[in-house]
Amino acid sequence: MANHLYQNDLPDGLDLGPIVAIDCETMGLNPHRDRLCVVQMSGGDGNAHMVQVAKGQTEAPNLCAMLENPEVLKLFHFGRFDIAAMYNAFGALTAPVYCTKIASKLVRTYTDRHGLKSLLQEMLGTDISKHQQSSDWGAPTLTPAQLDYAASDVLYLHQLREKFNIMLEREGRMETAQSCFDFLPTRAKLDLAGWPDIDIFSH
């Protein structure tokens, strides 16, 4: 496994394949207030590619081309936040997408533990550290511990997707899951537009 850190954008010509796991690190959980700092990705080969985003940066052409590429499936865990954060920063709406948290909530109805750490422990027998989750991602120089933490959030999503697809098919919920995934970019836009906590489907 290797961590590759880039400044501002993915390098020209880098192809991460047809399915790319993605996660973001920000200065907080309010996308209007808290800036995007790092976007980490993996093509499922055990390597992580991380883009450090500069304060005030509004463009990342290579990254955005991949986010918007209809031929590349983007994997997330709680994609709702990451899609909103990248759309807010760059104006690029990520699609098509797959979210392991949504998949988990649709088939792991026997538990309320849908965090990535819990999923990896149960489904893959893998334990990851969350110690760097609340660290300063806006620092000009990221520590090796931060890079390893960022990488751990994307290195296992391909394996999780395979496990969840089996469970979704088994429980007859794949079509429902796909509909949720398809709606996720719109859900992220609603968050940014002022409907983060309102159920627009309620009476």
Over pLDDT 90: what percentage of the chain?
A: 94
Over range 31-42, report the average pLDDT.
96
Over pLDDT 70: what percentage of the chain?
A: 98
**Cα–Cα distance between 191 and 172 in angstroms, integer?**
29
The pTM score is 0.95
Over range 189-197, report the average pLDDT.
95
Predicted local confidence at residue 133, as pLDDT: 67
Predicted local confidence at residue 126, as pLDDT: 87
pLDDT single digits (tens) 83-138: 999 999 999 999 999 999 999 999 999 999 999 999 999 999 988 876 666 789 99
pLDDT tier for residue 157 given thresholds of 50, 70 and 90: very high
Over range 141-164, report the average pLDDT.
95
**In 3-state terms, what secondary structure has residue 6?**
strand
- List, in order of start, the domains of the chain with CATH numbers: 3-193 (3.30.420.10)
